[in-house]
Structure 1
């Protein structure tokens, strides 16, 4: 199966796209595509194709494949376990489960959260591989995965999260508001799906079916008890709620809702979650304080990219008392390249990984806001990733930002 066009023939392989994108700048993607034989891009491209060649062989995922059923008895209902809950050792049966912050329970594997993430990641990878290679096989596989998870009558997921992040032994095993973050990988995935618009495998029925599905999820998002509670979240969950709602709304054609979410974002999220010194108190109280501070910044960047795609600039917003996104970023910068012992809050694991994720955030900020070359210099200084990073294909070379 031919996947990689020879550099000298690359001009024969390109079709340029003009579809609306929300996280990725389609003009930048097309520029990268036309220069994919550049030595820096080519490493990232080969890594993408290698990953896509693995994804093209995976079996489809479905909520109907798990053992057991949701309390509803409907096999199409998504179910996930709350990540940080464990059996209570003081109880003979272990119920109700108790919270151990920052410690993931391997029982997660029994439910739908990991298959959902694996499916979304596979679709995103395959869509990007299709975009850059023009190989229809990648698009065909992405469409197969989408149909099985979202559209086929016998395997589709119902468009709600009523049983997400349940705690065994609590509230009849019903889901919790926090479970709405389980679908955050749909944000990247739907941006990838937009790249399928020129594929012969992606039909009008697929497009309409997905738009209807995400329209229904968006409605549930805004009207369900879980959704309303998550909207009122004071930490990264409330912010993730907004990002997802904006993307689901744009994808399903409800631009009005998306713009409402975008326009209220500074007042509702930035100024309530960031202190004038840049700290994020709700994230700093966690046992993975650096991770969650960075994780929330990632959500902010996603919202800024979405807003920019709609002609709205949010990243320079600042409250009267000095609360701003850039204050939150600068709060973490002094700890780059340092040992976890320098961090004055808790971070019980994952220090190096969280540092690398933060560097990728700085790279994205520099791509989003051309005035922040200082962040790009920090990225260059501390970055430990090789040239195969997918960021090269999504945001361009450092020298070109």
Structure 2
């Protein structure tokens, strides 16, 4: 009977093949809107700017996205509920007792499911709300960045349309909960798990994009849309803080916990609850962070996984994002230490020394750039590492724009006629709250959080024939 299940899975693998995209998708990012709107970019970032605009155009052409577009209905019977299946969960139909081949639906409800850590089950993407949200987050992120660079109304309009469709429009809006995220399948029922909260970790990217438009006074980001989005966010924050599975995720000691605080703090910033965001980040630094990095810089909870190189880079991206969110609200955490006396820089230095083996080396590269920007690179070791391992690609990566200061290793030829001035630099940047005044004060640019996957060039990691999604 296990063979029947494998046949069913094999049949859908071909159907899951999707086109490869030539843009970089990070595990998480938070880019300071004031840095982008100031437009004071080094001429060495010209290639990165071009990459951002190219990605924005590609992603805008893919949308819009909605949870209501899926073909499988959640157990609630409401397509507006977000839904995903546990990615590492596999059916064991050996004791199902069937006499004929099981249909896919019968497998999902009849066969017990077992977890195989790090082994992605391709049929999990038959329900692809997680992939749709990933694309949505990237589309909002890149189009907002592109608008800050060239001022084209089409970029801002793409952001507004994407947000309207996913969160606001009654026919397509997502209900503000993750009750059916990373559901466990099998005879015991279809319920969401706390791991599913990870699916929406890239809310930090969306918040970055919205703040850029709001504080840059983009006409396309209207007062009405801003109010509607904040109302939705307030409801979702209530779910994140009170739902049983969300509370479980908040207690996770590994990358799951780190990403939970990325998500909640970013959303609190969006609604103007800066005190709440500070409290959220303080909980992370006073709890999970203390045990996440050993004295030698290792991340033992990530190193114990089946793909240690990946998971070290993954949690690093989340830790960097928390530090950037904290910097935005004047909470300096870059030099906070774990119980063992280690910092985020310690974790990066350790990770750089490890061999990727059969894993994808490029998963670490943008973390290297982020740490260089945050802590400095006086002896040039971080730029040298990137040049040695990534060649000229690192100055073309979008994050090179905000991972500054960072040497371009002489790869970008600057001429007197060259200019990286952005139209956004001439636009009024509302100090602190865009159209509403002093809601959010200006901050330094900090350092970014990157976990790169340049799909067109096979940077990062790809799950064979299914869409790229960053997983637990």
TM-score, normalised relative to structure 2: 0.72
Structure 1 unpaired stretches of 5+: 1-21, 341-348
Q: Which of the pair is proportionally richer in helix?
A: 1
Structure 2 counterparts to residues 178-217 of structure 1, below 5 A: 178-197=195-214, 198-217=217-236
> How many corresponding residue pairs?
364
Q: Deviations over 1:209-265 (max 9, x none)?
A: 111111111111110000111111111101111111111111122222211122233
Kept in 2, the 8 Å contact 1:28–1:396? The answer is no
Question: Within 2, Cα distance between the matches of 1:63 and 1:215?
Answer: 19
Q: Deviations over 1:168-225 (max 9, x none)?
A: 1165211000000100122112101111122111111111111111111111111000
RMSD over aligned CA atoms reads 2.2
In structure 2, what is the equivalent of residue 98 of structure 1?
Answer: 114
Kept in 2, the 8 Å contact 1:270–1:325? The answer is no
Q: Deviations over 1:137-186 (max 9, x none)?
A: 11111111110100001110001100000121165211000000100122
The answer to whether structure 1 residue 29 and structure 2 residue 36 are counterparts is yes
Structure 2 counterparts to residues 1-400 of structure 1, below 5 A: 23-30=30-37, 33-35=39-41, 38=43, 40-92=44-96, 94=107, 95-111=111-127, 112-169=129-186, 171-197=188-214, 198-319=217-338, 321-335=340-354, 338=355, 340=357, 351-352=359-360, 355-370=361-376, 374-384=381-391, 385-396=393-404, 398-399=406-407
Q: Deviations over 1:23-55 (max 9, x none)?
A: 324454346x3557x3x4332222222222222
Kept in 1, the 8 Å contact 2:45–2:400? The answer is yes
3-state SS of 1:379 partner: helix
3-state SS of 2:181 partner: strand
Task: Give the drift of 1:309.
Answer: 1.3
3-state SS of 2:119 partner: coil
Structure with larger RCO (C-alpha < 8 A, sep 6+): 2
Q: Deviations over 1:344-390 (max 9, x none)?
A: xxxxx5x23xx222121011112122366543443333334253210
TM-score, normalised relative to structure 1: 0.84
Name the CA shift for 1:320/1:79 in 2 (closer, same or farther; >3 Å).
closer
In structure 2, what is the equivalent of residue 344 of structure 1?
Answer: none
4+ runs deviating over 6 angstroms: none
Question: Within 2, Cα distance between the matches of 1:233 and 1:52?
Answer: 34
Question: Within 1, Cα distance between the matches of 2:340 and 2:190?
Answer: 43
* Farther-moved stretch of structure 1 (186-195 vs 167-176): 167-176
Question: Within 2, Cα distance between the matches of 1:298 and 1:67?
Answer: 33
Kept in 2, the 8 Å contact 1:52–1:138? The answer is yes
